[in-house]
A and B are shown apart, each in its own frame.
Chain A
Amino acid sequence: MSNTGTSETRTAEQPQHKVCWSCKGPVEASALFCDTCNAIQPPGQLDHFTRFGLERTFLIDVDAIEATYLKQQQLLHPDRFASKSAREQALSSQQAATLNGAFETLKNPVARAEYLMRLAGHEPEGGEGHTVNDPALLMEAMEMREALHDADDRNAVDAMIKDTRKAARACEKDVAEALEQNAYDRAKKLTTRLRYLMKMTEEARAKKSRLAAA
């Protein structure tokens, strides 16, 4: 390829429609199926919120988007295309994978917060394995880890799980508020904390299973 490193230019205006690969006629850019010939379309570049018909906001009704998810999966899943042409099967697989990715992102509060930040042009703080420069958070995490290490019966671990979950729920509210106010620096820090809290809950659950198995 002779691309010399110029970044891809994207037209400011999204096209309203594109050409249907099957009947070659016009089809709406966001359509899942061609309204003329019914052929399944490629997933395109819809953002996850638009895909689920939602406003770009942190506070969403996960049950409602799950219902939309299941409805769309009923139409798009590869099992619906098992005896169709190879091309339709490939498109269905892409559509279903895109839909799965969108749902997984929106369902998880950390992923959803980070996705919202990226949509707004703010790169979130690094994920696992990246350094975090928040002494208060590091201290909190260290204390939680020590407490988990010291907890040696199921009841103690259960209490920890309850605490971290409660803290995570409160933290989620703070993230929502920060994002609502476009306070992205605060949102970044809070999201990192939320990630820690969720990870601690997960580790505590794993420890509980280990204790149960022993």
Chain B
Amino acid sequence: MALLKIHEPGQTPLPHEDERQLAVGIDLGTTNSVVAISNDEKPEVLRDTSGGNAIVPSVVYYGADDDPVVGEAARDQINDNADRVVSSVKRLMGRGIADVKSIAGTLPYHVEVPTEDAEKSGEPMMVRLNVGDRVLTPVEVSADILRALRARAEESLGKPVEKAVITVPAYFDDGARTATKDAARLAGIEVLRLVNEPTAAALAYGLDNGAEGLYAVYDLGGGTFDISLLKMQKGVFQVKATGGDAALGGDDFDHAIAEHLLAERKSGGTTDDLDASDAKRLLKTARKVKEALTDADSTEITVSLGGSETTHTVTRAEFDAMIAKLVSRTIAITEQVLDDADILADDVKGVVLVGGSTRVPAVRRAVADLFEQDPLSDIDPDEVVALGAALQAEALTGGSDNLLLDVTPLSLGLETMGGIVEKVIDRNTPIPVAKAQEFTTYQDGQSAMMIHVVQGEREMVDQCRSLARFALTGIPSMAAGAARIKVTFNVDADGLLTVSAREETTGTEQEVAVKPTYGINELDMANMLRESMVHAREDMEMRLLTEARVEARRNVLAVQAAMNADRALLTSEDEDNIAGAIAKLEAAMSGEDRDLINEQAEALEDASRPFAEARMDARIRQALAGRNVDQVN
């Protein structure tokens, strides 16, 4: 720590008797996850106890009755127990059945489709996975991965870890963000902030190099593609524009190779009928081909399926051709984002590569061609996001000179007449943001209005993602067009949306935190929390106690600051009362009784009221006196 820190107003560190709690950065990836910690702005990844790998494969094995196994050990089960292994679950976060049907063929496990009855009942249509004898939601599987990362961090640091910055693809919609936060809750992790992956990567580079100017972050992971443009100036990282595809990544490269291998077998006379286990093994082989072709011009591989073995040679040129369409799609999206921000490729000072898939030479070449420069890659592309997240976790708990200003990745709007979307917040709007729009009734005496919140860029509602529906009821009887219904959208710094609606002439109000239709409903969430955390109640109590202490401490400091500022207005009687109340409050704060702390905080407020009033009176008199002088002049 620096010996002396000068703080701006509002930036003083939290006056807290407890020592700063450890906060880690977590890159919860489609294929791999990484956890890191930062001290004094020097981030490092946390490796397994044998000092080896930083990467934890995002793979979970659910054995018959044992606890879930996460990581390398789970991946080793793919060959023998394919139906008990879940991988790439991130692709399902916040996804509805309709989305999953479209990618179902690419998923190596069974997805449970709700019955028609359930569909009609309007129950949340969340995807469930049949894994061995269990039925699991993607949120629960992600929670198991997060638990493993938390355990690794605690083992490595030798201290409890309860707070984290978790990264999400910039292009994640509200549903997927909420699902990620839910997973963290299940794993007993308090999310300090959800940070966009490319932003985190830029942070890792920016701090190292003290860079100024425009940077592009090209992030091609296992399952998602993100491109972001950031402007760095005077310690502020401003996201200018962002875009991507939540279902495009290195896994698709694997599929392309797998299909190629199957096609070669077929033309050689072998017809394969793949089960889940075969598919997983074939994909594993395909990944090996991909990885080998990073350095080699060609590679030879043996495929063994259904008792028949075939040997194949795949050249880099063949591989490049297989993925050419996928790569050019990322380039087209990148050009769109450049246009959005009104930036030319030449204006970009540096290009940062993130994600294991950027090791593929064809990807590097395409990016280099577009920006006419060699991309930066001196930080390991698999670790850079977690390192940036760790820096942000440190900044949030310990203060920082740097600031991240992020934007909404997708437009948010409302359904209006005829199924047309009225945009309320455009994509690439800086967050947090609050925007209101007024609507009116279209029928005489209309007493309720459906509010349908959607996310996306298309003009028609059914082409956008539906986030929530709720009704504003109790609108008083008025002629059509007379009611004034103000709908306010609030997006917080995590990119999560809250919508409220208010009839302006009467004040009828309704508010919903947007729980996406595809998310977990509160009841299920509560049940899961109960099951997963025996100590949930105690944890909650502890949190409330900490909050009461923080609030009480702030109270004491505020009153003391006021006494120092306006000592002349303080009668000795008030001073004695206040001092007594502070002593009692501080005694209560050192105890465990939350109610007592709140009670004594109120008593302090009562004791200091006459003094506060005297300060207000004095200021008003002063202001009036000032005015008189003005008038005389």
Q: Given A25-B612, A73-B405, are A100 and B431 neighbors across the interface (CB < 8 Å)?
A: yes
Interface size counted on chain B using CB atoms at 8 A: 65
Residues 97-115 (chain A) with a chain B CB within 8 angstroms: 97-98, 100-101, 103-104
Complex CA–CA separation, A5 to B504 (angstroms)? 10
User: Chain B residues near A82 (CB, 8 Å)?
Assistant: 192-193, 396-397
B559 CB–A CB distance under 8 Å:
yes
Q: Given A22-B558, A84-B550, are A70 and B10 neighbors across the interface (CB < 8 Å)?
A: no
A33 CB–B CB distance under 8 Å:
yes
Q: CB-defined interface of A74-89 with B at 8 Å, one 1/0 digit per residue? A: 1111111111111110
Report B333 CB to chain A, min CB distance, Å: 8
Q: CB-defined interface of B1-21 with A at 8 Å, one 1/0 digit per residue? A: 000000011111010100000
Task: Supply 12 further A-B pairs (C-beta < 8 A) apart from A26-B615, A100-B433.
Answer: A1-B508, A25-B566, A26-B620, A37-B561, A70-B233, A70-B405, A79-B403, A80-B403, A84-B550, A94-B434, A205-B339, A213-B336
Q: CB-defined interface of B483-512 with A at 8 Å, one 1/0 digit per residue? A: 000000010110000000000011110000
Are B332 and A75 closer than 8 Å at their CB atoms?
no
Which of A3, A79, A88, A103 is B493 in contact with, Cβ under 8 Å? A79
Complex CA–CA separation, A70 to B430 (angstroms)? 12
A31 nearest in chain B by CB position: B9
A36 CB–B CB distance under 8 Å:
yes
Q: CB-defined interface of A60-74 with B at 8 Å, one 1/0 digit per residue? A: 000000000010011
User: Chain B residues near A40 (CB, 8 Å)?
Assistant: 10
Complex CA–CA separation, A155 to B565 (angstroms)? 67
Are A5 and B432 closer than 8 Å at their CB atoms?
no
Residues 523-561 (chain B) with a chain A CB within 8 angstroms: 547, 550-551, 554-555, 557-559, 561
Are A22 and B493 closer than 8 Å at their CB atoms?
no
Which of B234, B395, B547, B559 is A23 in contact with, Cβ under 8 Å? B559
Complex CA–CA separation, A19 to B615 (angstroms)? 10
A212 CB–B CB distance under 8 Å:
yes
Residues 365-421 (chain B) with a chain A CB within 8 angstroms: 392, 395-397, 399, 403-405
Are A104 and B547 closer than 8 Å at their CB atoms?
no
Are A79 and B395 closer than 8 Å at their CB atoms?
yes
Q: Given A25-B615, A82-B397, A209-B339, are A97 and B608 neighbors across the interface (CB < 8 Å)?
A: no
Size category of the A interface is 35 or more
Are A37 and B557 closer than 8 Å at their CB atoms?
yes
Are B562 and A36 closer than 8 Å at their CB atoms?
yes
Q: Given A37-B557, A75-B8, are A86 and B547 neighbors across the interface (CB < 8 Å)?
A: yes
Are B396 and A33 closer than 8 Å at their CB atoms?
no
A92 nearest in chain B by CB position: B10
Are B14 and A84 closer than 8 Å at their CB atoms?
yes
User: Chain A residues near B558 (CB, 8 Å)?
Assistant: 20, 22-24, 36-37, 39
B629 CB–A CB distance under 8 Å:
no
Are A19 and B616 closer than 8 Å at their CB atoms?
yes
A81 nearest in chain B by CB position: B10
Complex CA–CA separation, A78 to B491 (angstroms)? 12
Report A43 CB to chain B, min CB distance, Å: 10
Are A75 and B339 closer than 8 Å at their CB atoms?
no
B236 nearest in chain A by CB position: A70
Are B434 and A38 closer than 8 Å at their CB atoms?
no
User: Chain B residues near A81 (CB, 8 Å)?
Assistant: 10
User: Chain B residues near A84 (CB, 8 Å)?
Assistant: 14, 550, 554
Q: CB-defined interface of A1-42 with B at 8 Å, one 1/0 digit per residue? A: 101010000000000110110111110000011011111100
User: Chain B residues near A103 (CB, 8 Å)?
Assistant: 430
Q: Which residues of B contact A (CB under 8 A)?
A: 8-12, 14, 16, 192-193, 233-236, 238, 329, 332, 335-336, 339-340, 342, 392, 395-397, 399, 403-405, 429-435, 490, 492-493, 505-508, 547, 550-551, 554-555, 557-559, 561-562, 565-566, 605, 608-609, 612, 615-616, 618-620, 623
The 6 closest A-B CB pairs, nearest first, are A24-B612, A213-B332, A26-B619, A82-B396, A37-B558, A23-B558
User: Chain B residues near A36 (CB, 8 Å)?
Assistant: 558, 561-562, 565-566
Report B214 CB to chain A, min CB distance, Å: 14
With a 10 A CB-CB cut-off, give which of B340, B434, B609 has the most chain A CB atoms: B434
Which of A79, A101, A205, A208 is B396 in contact with, Cβ under 8 Å? A79
Complex CA–CA separation, A32 to B558 (angstroms)? 16
Report A199 CB to chain B, min CB distance, Å: 13
Are B332 and A212 closer than 8 Å at their CB atoms?
yes
Q: Given A23-B559, A82-B193, are A101 and B616 neighbors across the interface (CB < 8 Å)?
A: no
User: Chain A residues near B565 (CB, 8 Å)?
Assistant: 25, 36
Complex CA–CA separation, A37 to B336 (angstroms)? 48
Complex CA–CA separation, A209 to B431 (angstroms)? 26
Complex CA–CA separation, A71 to B624 (angstroms)? 33
A–B pairs, 8, beta carbons within 8 Å: A35-B9, A37-B561, A40-B10, A73-B403, A78-B432, A100-B431, A101-B435, A209-B332
Are A75 and B11 closer than 8 Å at their CB atoms?
yes
Report B168 CB to chain A, min CB distance, Å: 16
Q: Given A22-B558, A26-B619, A82-B396, are A97 and B434 neighbors across the interface (CB < 8 Å)?
A: yes
A96 CB–B CB distance under 8 Å:
yes
A201 nearest in chain B by CB position: B342
User: Chain B residues near A78 (CB, 8 Å)?
Assistant: 432, 492-493
Are B403 and A74 closer than 8 Å at their CB atoms?
yes
Report B376 CB to chain A, min CB distance, Å: 24
Complex CA–CA separation, A24 to B566 (angstroms)? 12
Which of A22, A32, A70, A104 is B554 in contact with, Cβ under 8 Å? A22
User: Chain A residues near B404 (CB, 8 Å)?
Assistant: 79
User: Chain B residues near A87 (CB, 8 Å)?
Assistant: 551
Are A23 and B236 closer than 8 Å at their CB atoms?
no
Report B15 CB to chain A, min CB distance, Å: 10
Report A150 CB to chain B, min CB distance, Å: 20
Q: Given A25-B615, A74-B236, A209-B339, are A100 and B557 neighbors across the interface (CB < 8 Å)?
A: no
Which of A92, A97, A100, A206 is B339 in contact with, Cβ under 8 Å? A206
Are A17 and B623 closer than 8 Å at their CB atoms?
yes
Are B335 and A212 closer than 8 Å at their CB atoms?
yes
Complex CA–CA separation, A88 to B551 (angstroms)? 10
Complex CA–CA separation, A89 to B23 (angstroms)? 18
Q: Given A38-B12, A75-B9, A213-B332, are A101 and B339 neighbors across the interface (CB < 8 Å)?
A: no
Report B90 CB to chain A, min CB distance, Å: 25
User: Chain B residues near A70 (CB, 8 Å)?
Assistant: 233-234, 236, 238, 405
Are A104 and B430 closer than 8 Å at their CB atoms?
yes
Report B543 CB to chain A, min CB distance, Å: 11
Complex CA–CA separation, A101 to B425 (angstroms)? 11
Complex CA–CA separation, A80 to B9 (angstroms)? 11
Q: Given A19-B616, A78-B493, A79-B403, are A96 and B432 neighbors across the interface (CB < 8 Å)?
A: yes
B396 nearest in chain A by CB position: A82
User: Chain A residues near B329 (CB, 8 Å)?
Assistant: 213
Complex CA–CA separation, A54 to B11 (angstroms)? 26
Are B432 and A38 closer than 8 Å at their CB atoms?
no
Are B554 and A85 closer than 8 Å at their CB atoms?
yes
Are A33 and B10 closer than 8 Å at their CB atoms?
yes
Complex CA–CA separation, A36 to B431 (angstroms)? 29
Report B1 CB to chain A, min CB distance, Å: 16
B8 nearest in chain A by CB position: A75
Q: Given A23-B612, A79-B404, A82-B397, are A97 and B236 neighbors across the interface (CB < 8 Å)?
A: no
Report B43 CB to chain A, min CB distance, Å: 17
Are A77 and B493 closer than 8 Å at their CB atoms?
yes
Are A73 and B396 closer than 8 Å at their CB atoms?
no
Complex CA–CA separation, A77 to B431 (angstroms)? 9
